Amino acid sequence: MKSPKIVFRKNPEFTKCPSCGEFATLRKSKARTPWEQFVKKYTPFKYYRCKNCGWRGTIFTYKVTKTSIKNLAGYLFVALLAAYIIRIILKRFIIK
């Protein structure tokens, strides 16, 4: 069974630069410090540099869509429903 996607990866190389606003000028930048390596490895933020204006910083590499919000709401509903059912079962059979 294929699970619905919550987030979609985007490629910031084709989005506009947060500093100068030019399109397709961002290139991947290497992590310089251990902190940057940590960020690069364990978070959805990646380091990019603009070849037009020299801006360098982190960019969030996932995009949230309408479908992903719908899927997330669905998961939350199922989780809450499960918690509610477990609570009823616990009340009935364990707590007396």
Give the binding site for Zn ion (CB under 5 A).
Answer: 17, 19-20, 50, 52-53, 55
Nearest approach in angstroms of CB 37 to Zn ion is 24
Place of tokens 């930048």: 29
Nearest approach in angstroms of CB 4 to Zn ion is 35
Strand partners, 49: 27, 56
User: 20 vs 86, which CB is nearer to Zn ion?
Assistant: 20
Contacts of 60 (CB under 8 A, 6+ apart): 44, 45
Place of tokens 């996932």: 62
Nearest approach in angstroms of CB 13 to Zn ion is 13
